[in-house]
Amino acid sequence: MSWQTSDKLIIGAGLYGLYAALYCGRRGQRVTVLEIEEAPFTRATYINQARVHMGYHYPRSLSTAMKSAGYFKRFVEDYGFCIHDSFQQIYATSRHFSWTDAAEFRKFCENAGIPCMDLPAEQYFQKGMCDGAFLTQEYTYDAHILRDHLLEEIGKLPNVTMRYGRRIRRIIKQGDCYEIYAEAAEAAAGQTAKGASEEQYRAPFVLNATYASVNQVLHCVEGVETQDFGLKYELCEIILCHVDAALEKIGLTVMDGPFFSIMPFGKTGYHSLTSVTFTPHKTSYDAVPQFGCAKEQGAACAERWLGNCNSCACKPESAWEYMSALARKYLRADYGFTYESSLFSMKPILKASEIDDSRPTVIKRLEPERADGGGPVFLSVLSGKINTVYDLDAFLE
């Protein structure tokens, strides 16, 4: 057993983890990425609506909207190869139950400085269902193309090491470094003797980019007082659909309340169908996700770690019937769609953002910087949008 020392340790190989790895790797730093799964991008980075947000989604939070819009251009320039932009993204405001209406939405877009053009709502929706429809500029990214690109780039850097199937056991602050004890998946499965494959990593900088597991990772830290993110967790279902030719080049999102969205899912050729009410299946208000299904036979969750909900045997039954009924209630009959498959993932939501529905990127440092600017750094990041990944830059220098 020997120490594997690096300049930066990154926990989690989602977009934020790999972005940070590449960012630091390109600057010549030795980076190690620890990932619980056997591959990157298997959870929330892949399983979400795949929107490259321009801010339309947040009519109740101008700050979130403007920030999204600012990063939108940069993301599209940097990662254009994985972006699907040749479709019409249409936002509509529901006539009933919406927290916003057509006039408010128009005003909001103007204030946020994002393009928005009026369309006849009845071109897309049943009569009387929506009071406004707007052509917007928003794209979708393909997580798998993005993953392959990032892996290829990282592969060119000998100073970046990827470690898959690693479970963190303990994180201990030692002087100017953090030491992480992890075990490989075989050992975790309990087949081989405990400790045989225990590994030790050490770095003065740790980035916790584990999204839904962010609090679980924080709970492994010893010797330093940690503070949980105030989160609730939703087990979410994204449905992939085949759509009729009429809907192929269209993405539709009905706002702002218990509505739905059906839009292209990256470059896969499928549309994703989600709804505010039916996409979340179960909710946990505990500090770390606590769900009844974790205790069932064959559940992917092991020990204290959240499993991959998508490959889990105990994932919930699809809410397709409910989501499709909701979408059909709104959509004109000629926009047909049929079920292909479901994707499940865990989504943490900051409790503070429920009212204004903002989705801030939260980056927390475990200990404040020492007076001399030294001391080990342990950062935890939580963000619900891919294009705000650039928020990390300032912290990685």
CB of 325 to another protein, least distance (A): 4
Q: Which stretch binds another protein (CB under 8 A): 64-72, 152-160, 326-334, 360-368?
A: 326-334
> Token digits for 66?
């403007």
Measured distance CA(353)–CA(231) in Å, rounded? 10
Residue 211, classed as helix, strand or coil, is helix
In 3D space, the residue among 2, 353, 25 whose CA is nearest the CA of residue 207 turns out to be: 25
* 4 scored as a contact of another protein (CB under 8 A): no
Class of residue 158 by CB neighbours under 10 A (exposed 0-12, middle 13-18, buried 19+): exposed
CB of 59 to another protein, least distance (A): 17
Name the amino acid, one letter, at 65: A
Q: Which stretch binds another protein (CB under 8 A): 134-142, 158-166, 211-219, 279-287?
A: 279-287
In the complex with another protein, the residue whose CB is nearer, 103 or 117, is 103
CB of 260 to another protein, least distance (A): 10
Measured distance CA(298)–CA(302) in Å, rounded? 10
Count the alpha carbons within 13 Å of 18 in the hemisphere toward its beta carbon: 23
In the complex with another protein, the residue whose CB is nearer, 230 or 258, is 258
Size of the site for another protein (CB under 8 A): 23
Q: Which stretch binds another protein (CB under 8 A): 39-47, 61-69, 204-212, 313-321?
A: 313-321
- What are the φ/ψ torsions at residue 57 (nearest 5 degrees)? -75, -10
* 338 scored as a contact of another protein (CB under 8 A): yes
* 282 scored as a contact of another protein (CB under 8 A): yes
CB of 312 to another protein, least distance (A): 17
Number of H helices, E strands in the chain: 9, 23
CB of 277 to another protein, least distance (A): 5
* 270 scored as a contact of another protein (CB under 8 A): no
Measured distance CA(188)–CA(307) in Å, rounded? 13
**x-or-dash pattern for another protein, window 79-118, by CB under 8 A?**
-----------------xx---------------------
* 70 scored as a contact of another protein (CB under 8 A): no
* 381 scored as a contact of another protein (CB under 8 A): no
201 sits in which H/E element: strand 198-203
* 240 scored as a contact of another protein (CB under 8 A): no
CB of 336 to another protein, least distance (A): 10
* 395 scored as a contact of another protein (CB under 8 A): no
Measured distance CA(249)–CA(272) in Å, rounded? 13
CB of 66 to another protein, least distance (A): 27
* 122 scored as a contact of another protein (CB under 8 A): no
In 3D space, the residue among 153, 165, 106, 102 whose CA is nearest the CA of residue 130 turns out to be: 102
Q: Which of 329, 351, 365, 370 binds another protein (CB under 8 A)?
A: 329
In the complex with another protein, the residue whose CB is nearer, 32 or 272, is 272
CB of 271 to another protein, least distance (A): 15
In the complex with another protein, the residue whose CB is nearer, 284 or 380, is 284
- Tabulate helix, strand, coil % of the chain (nearest 5): 25, 35, 40
Name the amino acid, one letter, at 367: E
* 326 scored as a contact of another protein (CB under 8 A): yes
Class of residue 336 by CB neighbours under 10 A (exposed 0-12, middle 13-18, buried 19+): middle
Residue 340, classed as helix, strand or coil, is strand
Q: Which stretch binds another protein (CB under 8 A): 64-72, 168-176, 216-224, 274-282?
A: 274-282
* 324 scored as a contact of another protein (CB under 8 A): yes
What's the residue count for the chain?
A: 397
For residues 316 and 181, the answer to whether their CB atoms sit within 8 Å is no
| Residue that has been written with the tokens 């590994």 in this structure | 199
Residue 173, classed as helix, strand or coil, is strand
User: Which residue ranges make up the site for another protein (CB under 8 A)?
Assistant: 96-97, 126-128, 257-258, 277-278, 280, 282-283, 318, 320-322, 324-326, 328-329, 338-339
